[in-house]
Structures are given as structure tokens and as C-alpha cells.
Amino acid sequence: MAAKANREAHGHHDPVGRVEDARLVTGNGKYAADWRLPGQLHARFVRADRAHADIVSIDATAALRHPGVKAVLTGEDAVQAGYFTAPNALNFPGRNGMTAIAPRRPALAHGRVRFVGEAVALVVAATPAAAQDAAELVAVEYRDRVPVTAPEAALAPGAPRIHDEVPGNCPFESEAGSAEAVAAAIAAAAHVTRLKVVSNRVAPSPMEPRACMVEWDASRDHYTLYVCSQGITTQRQQMSAWTGVKGSQFTIHARDVGGGFGQRTLAYPEYCALMIAAKKLGRPVQWVATRGEGFMADSHGRANVIEGELALDAGGRFLGLRLSWVNDMGSYLSPGAMGHIRNTTTCMTGVYRIPALYASYRVALTNTTPVAAYRGAGRPDIAYVVERLVSEAAAELGIDPAELRRRNFIPVEAFPYATPTGSTYEYADMPGLIEKALKLADWTGFAERRAKTEKNGKLRGLGIATVIENTGAGNAPKDDAEIEVGADGIVTVHTLAKAQGHGHETTFAQIVAGALELPLARVRVMQCAPEKQQSMVGNHTGGSRSTVGAGSVCHLAALKAIDEGKARAALVLGVEPSQVAYARGVFGSTESGKKVALADLARDGTPFAVAAEGRFGSTFPNGCHIAEVEVDPSTGATGITAYSAVDDCGRVINHAIVEGQLHGGVMQGIGQVLGESIVYDDATGQLLTGSFMDYCMPRAGWLRGISGQEHATPSKVSPLGVKGMGESGCTGSIPAVANAVMDALRSAGVGHVDMPLTPSRVWLALQSRQRKG
């Protein structure tokens, strides 16, 4: 109700309902595990039960004798196939021009296991039950090695070496900005705030467990994958890099996908192992992961340790910022890990004019699950450390945290703003945005609310975050879109972007329907259609870029359909194309007095078709999020009493979808702050939070409402004026909620506490302070 009231107050109509929802909520979706092919077999992986060990032997004799078993594959098969060169995206020059040392990663572990859950063998059988039973009969003998799970410990002298080819467990180092300029700023500063923070490791946990089926066509040497995916272009490129199979030899079916968050972008080693099995047996092979496998083997997110120093002058103006990062990448480099460096460099200055910036990065390998992109891919991490430093500086100097931000915002007249680390921000109105947010949150009334809370024996905190993030520019050379108009008047839009709950079938249809002036029901959107995969190019859905990229190209394709339609209609009308007008699906000419429907341009059963392409860079959505919390000192439990968000995501196509993206992102950020955390035992490397019994997912009751408003400034990057939105909620909520809890604890004399701010951790911090007192 609050969201609807806000929309009405700002002149917005009720939102268009999502056209895909009827299919999904009635059980008519088709997910990766739903595919069935004639003669298909079923697979189960044998996974390492220890974090670091040599593989002495694998005995599959008993498993092969089990009824229904067709094959057992091991690392020998993976090496023999040549499937051991895992792709990674740390392909840019590092410190002093260094290149990343990418360790080999066979599709099935060969010689050594390096994290709990690493795939050691693959059992293929006639039924899922037979494969599961036989997998338990595979006997693996190990020779244990000492594991190291903490990134700073892995980089310490004398740490166990995880890969022989990676000295010091550090495959890559990088830096950005000017170390000399920041050193000078710190030396001249009237005050320096110093803080060390941890962006805790989390499990993305999409609703749909990972699944894949591979079919091999011997006549064409062609592989067809039925898989949960965020887009076929990136996944096909990665599969090709890993296996040496040409991209043209892959077709990827991805129908409905139950969540992604970056985790479904990747080509995983399990998919490569299934390729070996399908080719060996000549039959389709399907694997459906358990939730436990998801915790162990699906990529993790975040896992960064950052030390920061913020230098200020006597008037509270920012002079310089120095950050030292340790990026935990897990046991192997992942294709999605570059965002922890590149995105944090792009947005290092935050929304502030900071003359001197410098960051150093050390990548650490540990005996843990590999880390990849997770909703924001570094953007929430940089927002967290910068916003924590700003709020900490405000507390140390006795300045209102909103006022300190105002003093240091990038001025409106400075946009487009070139940052000291080489990025260029497009327009943002941070002064106008924060004023709207402060009013929405009743910032000035907080002192009275805190006093009432303290009378009840509880602590109250107020946290603010003003953030900006770059949306993904994409790694494909362009985005294509095709529009086909059938004789029945149905407009079919083809794109290689892939929704995982985003609502592309609605948003893209609205864009095309709006340009063509047609009812929404006449437009249908096809994503990653198999028949288009070899002829079209396009980026996957990730980095909050799909409406900016694919959506903009859909718009261009619709305009092109009108232009080319005028030329074709002119032939029928007997006039020049310049004499043809178009409106609401009909071409007409006052000169001829005749009309031609758009559907009439389809000839002899062949649709009227046009194609468009475009290349769009990053947009810079921004926002101000304010959280208010109440902490019970007797239990350490934190409750969010109010949450306000004002966001600039440019022009909004569908308000309901944008609100849904915001709400989901905010909740994921809250989950990381208050509960979610992947924990390994330091001594054994065992995963201690490998189920929802131990891994604390956010609950709906944690956030009972969001007061939200828009503060849109149109983007010039996109012809639609849109900016990304998919990750803004996460980027804003993590620092806002963390700052609110820290504000509450500070009122009790407690300093910084690392996330997750669980009841036990908060209670222990309060008890420690009382004992010291």
C-alpha cells in the first residue's frame, strides 16, 4: 500500500502486470531439471570430503557392478579429454604489468583435491537412485595435506601452498590510483579515519538448484546443453575456453531460470564432465544438484578483507582515500571474479569528490569454494567500505553523517565527472536525492525516537548510505535484437539476454509495444532461442545491464520496423516512403487514401523481419538509503524499524518490476549484514554452514516495509534514458544497515564489529564492552 501511495503521489499509474507470471505461478514453467530426452541417463558426482589432500587411488569396481550403472569417470578422463584449462577473467595487467597465474582445474579433480565438495568422480546410471547408490560405493583413498581457509593466513609466509605453480598462494596483484598523492594527502590531513572491514563470504542460493543435461550429436560433433543460465553467449564462450570445443558446436537451452545473482553465468566443471560422459555413452546425461551440493560447489560471493584510510581537512573535506584489499578467490580463479577489482576501482571515489585515491589488491587462493560474481560483483563491497569510513569519520569528528556527505558530494555542475581512478560518471543529483531521502526517513525526528527506545532499555541506531555504481558494459561486442511480425499480427522479439526472474518478457515487450503503439498482448519476447544462437550476438543478463543494452536495442529494432515498414507499405500504397505515416499498427497515406496493417507486411507466410544492434557502455545509477534499527542488548537481536530508499535509475519502464528488484536487492543486502555467512573450520577446512539449518537466510519479517521514492535523471548512454536497477538495493542496503547497527552499538560504547551482525556477535560485543567498562 505504501509503495502504491508513493507511485500515485508521483504521478505514476498502476503498474503493468508481468506477463510471465501466469505461467510460472501455475507450475507451467520449464526449468533445467524438467527436461526429458529419449534414452537419457542420470549422473551423480562423488565429491571430496576434505579440503586439501592428494588422491592416492580411486576404486570404482563396486560402483561399476551396481545395477544400472553405465560408467564411472575420474580425473584421468578429464585430463585425457583436455578439459583442464578453466577460464578466468583476470586477464588485464596487474601490478608492474604482471599477468595472473591461472592454475589448472580439471573438470574432475586429478591428483589433488583443494576444497570440500570438489568433484572427484562422476557416476552415470539408468536412474537417479542408481547413480546415487553407486556414487556411495566409489572408494577414494586420500593423503591429507594441511588446509588454509582464511585469505590473510593463506598469504602469510609459510602457509601451505595450494597450487605448486602459485607461490605464496597469490596469483595476482593489482593497484589503482596514485600512492604518492594519497600519502601526501594523509600526511597533510587534520584527521585520518582508519577502519578494517570484512565483506563476508556468502552463498548466493538461487531458488532453483543447479542442473544440466548434455546431449551429443555424433554426426555433427555438436553438444546441446539444457541448463540454468544467465545468457548463452558468455556461457558458450566459457565452455569453449574450458574444453577447446568451438562455440559454434554448442547449443544451449535455457527456458525458465529460478534465480541467478551472477552464480548462473558461469561454465562449471560439472558441465564439462557431463560432456565427456554424453560423448562416451552416446546418450543424454542429466545431473540435478542437491542443495548441499549447491552450498559446497556453486560459486560463493563477496569474501573481501579491506583496510581503509580516509583523510580529511579541518573543515571535514575529504583529501584522500587509501584502500588495501585482500580478495579471497577460493581454490581456483573463477570467470566472474574480476568485478572485485575492476568494479571497485571504477566506483572507488563513491559519490564524493576525493582528490587523491589509491587501492592495492592481493588475490588470495584458499582451500574453499571458488568465489565469483554475486549481485553487485564488487560494487556493494566498495560502497560498504567507503560508506562505513564516512560514517565513522562523522562519528569521530562529531559531525552529522548526512552533513559530512553533503560537504563532499560531487557537485552537480561537475558531471560528467572524471574520477582519479579513470572512470567517468554520468549525471547524478546527489544533493537533491539526499534531501528527499532525509525527509522520507524523518531524519530530524530520530533523537526523539532514540530517547523513547532507550527508556525501554534498548539501543536505537540510524544509518545512511549514499551510493553510486556502474552497470555492466558487457563482454560481447554488441547486443542484437530481431523483430518478426507475423501475418496474425503477433510481434516476436528475439534477444540473447536471459531473465532469471527479472521480467524481461514484460519489460522488453513494453518497450516494443510502446514504440509500435500496439497492445502489450500482441508482443511476445523470446530469449536465447536455439535457432538464433549462431546468428545473433548479445550479452548475458548480469551487472544490471539488460534494459540498458538489450532493452535499448529492442527499442531501436522497433523504430527500424517502422522505417522499413514505411518503405514496404509505400509499394502497396503507390506513394513515396516519405508520404507514409504510421500509427497504432497501421501505415497510411493521405495521398492515396489507403491503409496497410503492420501484419499485412508479412508475405507468403514469411514474417516481416528487421534486425538492430547497438553497443552501450556503463550507466551510473545512484541512491540514498536510510535504515533505522533497534538492538536488544539482552539478546543482541537487531530489528529494522524503518527503511527508506530514494533511487535514481533513470527512466522507469515498469514500476512494479523496479520495485521488486529494489525490494529483493535490499533483502539480500540485509541478509548479508544480519545473518548470512559461509563459515569454514580453520583446522580441517570443513564447511560448517552447508545447509539452511546452519546458513541463516533472510526472513520476510526482517523488513516489514520500504518507503521508496524515485529521483530520476535520464541516462544519455541509452536511447531509452534508462539506468540499471538490479543491484542498487543490495549496494545501498549493506552500508545503510551496517551503519545503523554500528550507530546503535556506538551509543553503548562499542566500536566496529564485522559482519554478519548476528545476535550472538552483537551480544558478545556488548558484553565485552561491559567487562572492559
φ and ψ at residue 394, rounded to 5 degrees: -60, -40
Q: pLDDT grade, residue 536 (50/70/90)? A: very high
The answer, yes or no, to whether residue 117 has pLDDT greater than 70, is: yes
Residue 3: the pLDDT is 45
Report the pLDDT averaged over residues 353-359.
98
Torsion, Cα of 106, 112, 116, 119 (10° steps): 30
Given a contact cutoff of 8 angstroms between Cβ atoms, the answer to whether 406 and 572 are in contact is no
46-73 pLDDT per residue, tens: 999 999 999 999 999 999 999 999 999 9
Residue 772: the pLDDT is 66
- Distance (Å, whole) CA 171 – CA 685: 21
**Alpha carbon of 583 to those of 8, 346, 487, 508, 652: distances in Å?**
29, 43, 18, 20, 24
Burial class (CB in 10 A: 0-12, 13-18, 19+), 287: buried
- Sheet strands side by side (includes 581-583): 581-583, 586-588, 595-597
370-395 pLDDT per residue, tens: 999 999 999 999 999 999 999 999 99
The answer, yes or no, to whether residue 580 has pLDDT greater than 90, is: yes
The answer, yes or no, to whether residue 12 has pLDDT greater than 80, is: no
Residue 472: the pLDDT is 86
Q: pLDDT grade, residue 603 (50/70/90)? A: confident
Residue 4: the pLDDT is 45
pTM of the model: 0.96
**Residues contacting residue 526 through CB under 8 Å, at least 6 positions apart:** 492, 493, 494, 495, 532
| Grid coordinates belonging to 582 | 504510421
Residue 449: the pLDDT is 98
Residue 724: the pLDDT is 92
Q: Which of 111-120, 540-549, 762-771 has the lowest mean pLDDT?
A: 762-771
The answer, yes or no, to whether residue 747 has pLDDT greater than 50, is: yes
Residue 15: the pLDDT is 61
Residue 753: the pLDDT is 95
Mean pLDDT of the chain: 95
The answer, yes or no, to whether residue 715 has pLDDT greater than 70, is: yes
| Grid coordinates belonging to 140 | 577414494
| Strands annotated E in 51-154 | 53-59, 69-74, 112-113, 119-125, 139-144
Q: pLDDT grade, residue 768 (50/70/90)? A: confident
When comparing pLDDT for 13 and 288, which is higher?
Answer: 288
Helix (H) or strand (E) holding 180: helix 179-188
The answer, yes or no, to whether residue 213 has pLDDT greater than 90, is: yes
The answer, yes or no, to whether residue 8 has pLDDT greater than 90, is: no
The answer, yes or no, to whether residue 10 has pLDDT greater than 90, is: no
Residue 605: the pLDDT is 81
The letter for the amino acid at 562 is I
The answer, yes or no, to whether residue 566 has pLDDT greater than 90, is: yes
The answer, yes or no, to whether residue 320 has pLDDT greater than 60, is: yes
Residue 350: the pLDDT is 98
The position carrying cell 578422463 is 77
The answer, yes or no, to whether residue 178 has pLDDT greater than 80, is: yes
Q: What percent of the chain has pLDDT over 70?
A: 98
Residue among 68, 64, 42, 46 nearest 55 (CA): 46
Q: pLDDT grade, residue 645 (50/70/90)? A: very high
497-516 pLDDT per residue, tens: 999 999 999 999 999 999 99
Report the pLDDT averaged over residues 439-466.
98
649-693 pLDDT per residue, tens: 999 999 999 999 999 999 999 999 999 999 999 999 999 999 999
Residue 699: the pLDDT is 94
Residue 701: the pLDDT is 94
φ and ψ at residue 99, rounded to 5 degrees: -110, 150
Given a contact cutoff of 8 angstroms between Cβ atoms, the answer to whether 496 and 527 are in contact is yes
- Distance (Å, whole) CA 83 – CA 427: 46
Given a contact cutoff of 8 angstroms between Cβ atoms, the answer to whether 730 and 647 are in contact is no
253-287 pLDDT per residue, tens: 999 999 999 999 999 999 999 999 999 999 999 99
Residue 773: the pLDDT is 58
Residue 97: the pLDDT is 96
465-491 pLDDT per residue, tens: 999 999 988 889 999 999 999 999 999
Residues facing residue 480 across a β-bridge:
613
- Distance (Å, whole) CA 654 – CA 73: 48
Residue 134: the pLDDT is 98
Residue 335: the pLDDT is 86
The letter for the amino acid at 68 is G
